Structure 1
Amino acid sequence: MKSALVVGGLVVVATVAVAGVSAVTQVVSQDQAADQARAMSANVTCNASLGPVTSGPPGSGKNDAEKLKEDQRANVALIIQIGKERQLPPLAWQIAIQAGMTESGLRNLNHGDRDSLGMFQMRPSMGWGSPAQVVDPHYSINKFYDVLIKVPNWEQQRPGESAQDVERSAFPDRYHKWEPMAAHLIGNVGLVPDPTGCGQGTGLLLAAPTEGAGKAIEWAMGQLGKPYQWGALTTHQNSFDCSSLMLQAYRSVGIALPRVSRQQYRAGAMLPVDQAQPGDLLFWAYDRSNPATIHHVAMYIGDGKIVEAQQTGVPVHVRPVRFNERGLMAQAVRPGV
């Protein structure tokens, strides 16, 4: 097995050199498009930097929405109605839907943890209002929006992050689970198919990969054949784990990434994984609907291939990737954007 692995590694190194040069050439040639995209985004009011408004498997939002009961859908309609009356953008409605679904299943509960009540499980003892007020959907929705619009930069965050800023949950990642469903409901109930205001997906407003991405690929390719080591230090290049390889590759071009793969998932603009370009990061999770279960990250280098530090006993290598393979998150991440 060991000799076969070495031979395989040599074959990979020999064949991917061309792919690496091709990828670098591709991203460098996109610099002009990136500059154009940035110029366009300066004149457009939207949330293009957020990427797509849904992060689940295709169809998951529609499937979850179809399971809602009449009272739940009525509360969705009220969230959207009040959001429109207050002239808040559709992104605010999405945040409220995700928060309400996470806290109560979009039901107006008369019970909860400690003195938590209502759709958003607001606590009278924490200044959210009287018990009678927080179980009144009109009051609780308006109160949620009152707090949301005071959150710094809430319009530049993923919806689940803003929901957490309002709710202050001990489980911050759980709000992301309902992003696909909330996005679907905004289109289906609110008749607004694009909550970011930038057209479907990210389109041309998401800055293209730059020369920096090409150089990050080049740096990662320079580590081929080096051993995998879990928890590898980021101060040397003798060995790598998955996230340290990504961190050092982008650090070499002046872009800082967090240390672990779960955190790196939040470190750039998101886009559909099947639209990934060279330099974008791809992520694998045990549960694709829950970013907290992400356990692996790799760099897309183009031509249907990734460079990665995969596991103990397997050196840094390049392999083909399928965008529908098991565990692959529906979003890729573009660092530095």
Structure 2
Amino acid sequence: MRIGVIAGVLVATAFAAVVTTGTVAKVITDQQEAQARSVANVSCDAAIGPTQPGQGNRGEVDAGNLDEQQRGTVQVIVEIGKQRSLSPRAWQIAIQAGMTESGLRSLDYGDRDSLGIFQMRPSMGWGTPEQVTNPVYAVNKFYDVLLAVPDWEKRRPGESAQAVERSGFPDRYHKWEPMAVHLVEYVGQVADVVGCGQGAGAALPPNEAAAAAIQFALGEQGKPYVWGATGPNSYDCSGLMLRAYESAGITLDRVSRDQFKDGAMLPVEQAQPGDLLFWGYDESDPSTIHHVAMYLGDNKIVEAQQTGVPVHTRAVSWDESELLPQAVRPGV
């Protein structure tokens, strides 16, 4: 395949040494640091990468299973992304698409006339067979089409990949999120793919508003749960959050699904007191959110849970069923 000519054995060997172990320190030269800083990250989005609770080191394991040709493809994707000053999210989208379509290999076969890393079809105007099986051309063409997708940088990476590929199986691109973010971080030498900052809890410390909201919510313990209620004598889950932050001078939307958009997003494992946690029928889809609670620290929350259960505090686990992988910090 042509990819071997582009990537080279030395690149692949160095790549393998990085992705196959989490104990190898990332050594970045001054020149590489400068290059990394020149690539702008998108705004904080904890939905990018291995964010599902309980996944552990899945991304690292998947990356370690890549062979030389696959590693070379990743290197081409990252290098072209840097040359074009595209954000790390674009690299990740391309990696997820390539892994899904061809296993990150420049194939000379596929469904009907589909060819190359991204299974581009010459008959559909993607280029000649020679072009679409040329990794450099294919990656640049993928980026060209991606940049024309409305709001591509605001979508979940797998959704943006689907917008380019237009597959009959749109959800399959999500599978490679953890691996893709691992590769972007270690191959692209981007320290924080999600853009939330290392240790986001420390970077965004709880403010006075959070303290006031916590005090209000705790003061409502014992009051009954009533669906649709916003106090003062009863609450539903989002009604309690609404009034708690209202007491602190911050306006939240009325329902939990909209409250998910009412602040800075960060990985749920980095939640700090006052942050909102969300539960959905599909942990990867915010449109399925049905419950919200306030994190108190020390693995505890305060919530208005359900009919028959008054406002109360309880323990929470990051591996809890239906817990979304993002927390939200209102007012930030």
Report the TM-score, using the length of structure 2 for normalisation. 0.64
State the aligned residue count.
289
Q: Is the 8 A contact 1:104 1:118 kept in 2?
A: yes
Measure the CA separation in 1 of the matches of 2:204 and 2:194. Answer: 16
Give the superposition deviation at 1:195.
3.6
CA gap of 1:157–1:189, structure 2 versus 1, over 3 A, is: same
Structure 1 gaps, min length 5: 1-43
Alignment of 1:178-257 (within 5 A): 178-195=176-193, 200-202=198-200, 206-228=203-225, 232-233=227-228, 240-246=235-241, 249-250=244-245, 253-257=249-253
Q: Match of 2:276?
A: 281
Of 49, 59, 66 in structure 1, the residue corresponding to residue 64 of structure 2 is: 66
Q: Match of 1:141?
A: 139
Measure the CA separation in 1 of the matches of 2:233 and 2:122. Answer: 56
Q: Match of 1:16?
A: none
Give the superposition deviation at 1:284.
4.2
CA gap of 1:104–1:92, structure 2 versus 1, over 3 A, is: same
Amino acid across the alignment from 1:280: D
Of 296, 300, 310 in structure 2, the residue corresponding to residue 301 of structure 1 is: 296
Measure the CA separation in 1 of the matches of 2:132 and 2:291. Answer: 41
With a CA cutoff of 8 Å and minimum separation of 6, indicate the structure with the bigger relative contact order. 1
Measure the CA separation in 2 of the matches of 1:91 and 1:269. Answer: 18
Is it true that 1:320 corresponds to 2:320 in the alignment? no
Q: Is the 8 A contact 2:40 2:86 kept in 1?
A: no
Q: Is the 8 A contact 1:72 1:105 kept in 2?
A: yes
Of 258, 266, 269 in structure 1, the residue corresponding to residue 264 of structure 2 is: 269
Q: Is the 8 A contact 1:80 1:190 kept in 2?
A: yes
Measure the CA separation in 1 of the matches of 2:221 and 2:310. Answer: 7
Amino acid across the alignment from 1:95: I
Amino acid across the alignment from 2:138: S
Measure the CA separation in 2 of the matches of 1:332 and 1:65. Answer: 27
Q: Match of 1:34?
A: none
Range 152-161 or range 220-229, more displaced: 152-161
Measure the CA separation in 2 of the matches of 1:226 and 1:181. Answer: 45
Of 320, 324, 333 in structure 1, the residue corresponding to residue 328 of structure 2 is: 333
Q: Match of 1:26?
A: none
CA gap of 1:135–1:49, structure 2 versus 1, over 3 A, is: same
Measure the CA separation in 2 of the matches of 1:100 and 1:64. Answer: 14
Amino acid across the alignment from 1:316: V
Give the superposition deviation at 1:148.
3.4
Amino acid across the alignment from 2:275: D
Give the RMSD, CA atoms, in angstroms. Answer: 4.3
Percent identical pairs in the alignment equals 61
Give the superposition deviation at 1:334.
1.9
Measure the CA separation in 2 of the matches of 1:278 and 1:287. Answer: 25
SS at match of 1:49: coil
Measure the CA separation in 2 of the matches of 1:125 and 1:251. Answer: 57
CA gap of 1:293–1:235, structure 2 versus 1, over 3 A, is: closer
Give the superposition deviation at 1:290.
6.6
Range 284-293 or range 319-328, more displaced: 284-293
SS at match of 2:274: coil
CA gap of 1:165–1:240, structure 2 versus 1, over 3 A, is: farther
Measure the CA separation in 1 of the matches of 2:102 and 2:287. Answer: 21
Q: Match of 1:259?
A: 255
Q: Is the 8 A contact 2:40 2:87 kept in 1?
A: no
Q: Match of 2:80?
A: 82
Measure the CA separation in 1 of the matches of 2:209 and 2:307. Answer: 29
Range 274-283 or range 249-258, more displaced: 249-258
Measure the CA separation in 1 of the matches of 2:71 and 2:285. Answer: 24
SS at match of 1:50: coil
Amino acid across the alignment from 1:210: N
Give the superposition deviation at 1:312.
3.9
Measure the CA separation in 2 of the matches of 1:134 and 1:259. Answer: 47
Give the superposition deviation at 1:143.
1.8
Measure the CA separation in 2 of the matches of 1:336 and 1:124. Answer: 50
Measure the CA separation in 2 of the matches of 1:151 and 1:304. Answer: 40
Q: Is the 8 A contact 2:300 2:313 kept in 1?
A: yes
Measure the CA separation in 2 of the matches of 1:90 and 1:222. Answer: 44
